[in-house]
Amino acid sequence: MYTAADLKKGLKIAINDEPYIITHFDFAKPGKGQALYRTKMKNMITGSTMDRTYRSGETFEPARLEDRVMQYLYKEDDHYCFMDNDTFEQIHISEEAMGDAKNYLIDNLQVDVLIFREKAIGVDVPNFVNLRVVQTDPWVKGDTSGSDSKPATVETGYVLRVPPFIEEGELITIDTRTGEYSTRVKG
């Protein structure tokens, strides 16, 4: 059981026996008033979204989802194919259900596939993934524009902001929770 104070982005809760994931969360508290927990959440099966505001003291059921460790194999049309490492069973997940996770999928990546009532409805990627930069403009020494970041494209096609000293071919770590650059992988 969760309380309102446990709510945060990414938490999965069950409402009317359907799994929801919190996509936006904010804490609000006027002056000397009571705490309010404002959420936007997405139905993990239908993809529909809704806004809800809760007060402290309210409680929530965790969404009962099963996690299965699987390996990413390939993309086909608008589906992504994964294989269960133990049973070698293969499953397909739609691009829509993948969400941002598709930005981090490289061959053979191990992910947690989320199963709700025997049906794969999405994946959890690790919090940090290492991806190679395939395109970024070179850093001009003596650049005085004052810019402290530049765009870079990584091997999955995902584009993000990186520090100016990052060059093509380098391996970088990305925080998949925020989609932001985290650090350079040395060596």
Partner 1 sequence: MGSWPLARRRQALVERGAIFSRIREFFQEKGYLEVETPFRIPAPAPEAQIDAIPASGWFLQTSPELCMKRMLAAGYQRIFQICRCWRDGERGARHLSEFTMLEWYRSEADYLVLMEETEALVQHAAATGSISYRGQQIELSGKWERITVANAFLRYAGTSMWPALAEGTFDEIMVELIEPNLGLARPTFIYDYPASCSALARLKPSDPTVAERFELYIGGLEIANAFSELIDPVEQRARFVAEAAERAAQGKTGYPMPEKFLSALDEMPEAAGIALGLDRLVMVLLDAEIIDEVVAFTTEEL
Contact residues for partner 1, defined by CB under 8 A: 5, 25-36, 38, 53, 56-57, 128, 148-149, 163, 173, 175, 181-184
CB of 31 to partner 1, least distance (A): 5
Dihedral (Cα; 124, 55, 35, 4), 10-degree rounding: -30
Q: Which is nearer to partner 1, 31 or 87 (CB)?
A: 31
CB of 26 to partner 1, least distance (A): 5
| Contact assessment for residue 112 and residue 69, using Cβ atoms and an 8 Å cutoff | yes
Q: Which is nearer to partner 1, 36 or 83 (CB)?
A: 36
| Spatial separation of the C-alpha atoms in residues 20 and 2, rounded to whole Å | 14
CB of 32 to partner 1, least distance (A): 6
| Spatial separation of the C-alpha atoms in residues 2 and 121, rounded to whole Å | 22
CB of 88 to partner 1, least distance (A): 34
CB of 34 to partner 1, least distance (A): 5
Q: Which is nearer to partner 1, 36 or 81 (CB)?
A: 36
Q: Which is nearer to partner 1, 46 or 145 (CB)?
A: 145
CB atoms within 10 A of CB 96: 10
Beta bridge partners of 61: 14
Q: Which is nearer to partner 1, 59 or 149 (CB)?
A: 149
